């Protein structure tokens, strides 16, 4: 049985403008790989309601899980929760369990739970809260979409809250063979290898170091024995 699939939706003008570098994709990819969920697509959209809704609808229909990051804070441009609700045709309003979390947090901090902060308690009907042990304001899961903060420390904590609730498949394994030859010299070998090991993913990633051309051949799959066999064959063919 194939592993469950996933997509990541990164939301925010600051990412697309280059002001902020996304720090969450690499982490999510690693965690999903360990959990046996195959990350198939990453899409980045601006803080535009139509773009977010369109992406959510498309990705949630194409993959088993969608993980979104960004746009659930207290400011006017944090519109992700509303967009997710519209994409699923769900009503959204301040939810009492989310409000209670924020009230306790801000009471302890000596800060006011003002109207802006209360926006973070607006949750679509039918959603399940995602725990946020870092800054309290929850994310949520609606359908197969897991809606999380963009702040890396909070995103990581929310991923840690969600992953144990998901059913994964076999962890994705990989091995790398370093070849000190150009891609063109080994392309025929790789083509034949990919044909004979069509259950594996075989990638070739070139490099140049001190004027020497080479390539790292990465073989990925869920069957360790098959990966070993593919790497062994290629090494033998290339006299490595």
pLDDT at 1 over 80: no
Same domain for 100 and 215: no
Are residue 101 and residue 183 in the same domain, yes or no? no
Length of the chain as a residue count: 240
Decide if 158 contacts 139 (C-beta within 8 A). yes
Q: What total number of domains does the chain contain?
A: 2
| Residues 178 and 160 placed together within one structural domain of the fold | no
Looking at every residue in the chain, the average pLDDT score rounds to 95
Among the candidates 115, 136, 165, a domain finishes at 165
Q: Cα–Cα–Cα angle for 62, 68, 73, nearest 5°?
A: 150
- Encode pLDDT of 103-146 as tens digits: 999 999 999 999 999 999 999 999 999 999 999 999 999 999 99
Q: Is the pTM of this model over 0.95?
A: no
pLDDT tens column, 156-182:
999 999 999 998 888 889 999 999 998
CATH code for the domain in which residue 230 is found = 3.30.70.600
- The whole-number pLDDT of residue 155 equals 98
Q: Which of 145, 165, 185 is the last residue of a domain?
A: 165
Quick: pLDDT tens for 184-206.
Answer: 999 999 999 999 999 999 999 99
């Amino acid at each position: 049985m194939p592993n469950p699939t996933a997509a990541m939706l990164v939301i925010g003008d600051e990412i697309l403008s280059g002001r902020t570098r996304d720090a969450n994709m690499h982490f999510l990819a690693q965690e999903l790989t360990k959990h046996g969920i195959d990350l198939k697509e990453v899409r980045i959209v601006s803080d535009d309601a139509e773009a977010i809704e369109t992406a959510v609808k498309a990705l949630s229909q194409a993959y088993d899980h969608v993980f979104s990051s960004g746009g659930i804070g207290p400011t006017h441009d944090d519109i992700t929760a509303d967009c997710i609700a519209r994409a699923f045709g769900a009503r959204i309003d301040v939810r009492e369990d989310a409000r209670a979390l924020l009230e306790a947090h801000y009471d302890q901090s000596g800060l006011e739970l003002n109207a802006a902060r209360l926006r973070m308690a607006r949750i679509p009907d039918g959603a399940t809260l995602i725990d946020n042990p870092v800054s309290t304001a929850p994310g949520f899961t609606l359908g197969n979409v897991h809606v999380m903060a963009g702040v890396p420390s909070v995103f990581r904590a929310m991923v840690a809250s969600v992953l144990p609730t998901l059913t994964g498949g076999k962890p994705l394994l990989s091995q790398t063979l370093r070849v000190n030859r150009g891609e063109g010299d080994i392309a025929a070998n790789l083509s034949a290898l990919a044909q004979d090991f069509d259950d594996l993913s075989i990638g070739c990633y070139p490099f140049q170091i001190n004027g020497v051309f080479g390539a790292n051949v990465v073989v990925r799959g869920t069957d360790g024995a098959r990966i070993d066999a593919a790497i062994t064959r290629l090494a033998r063919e290339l006299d490595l």
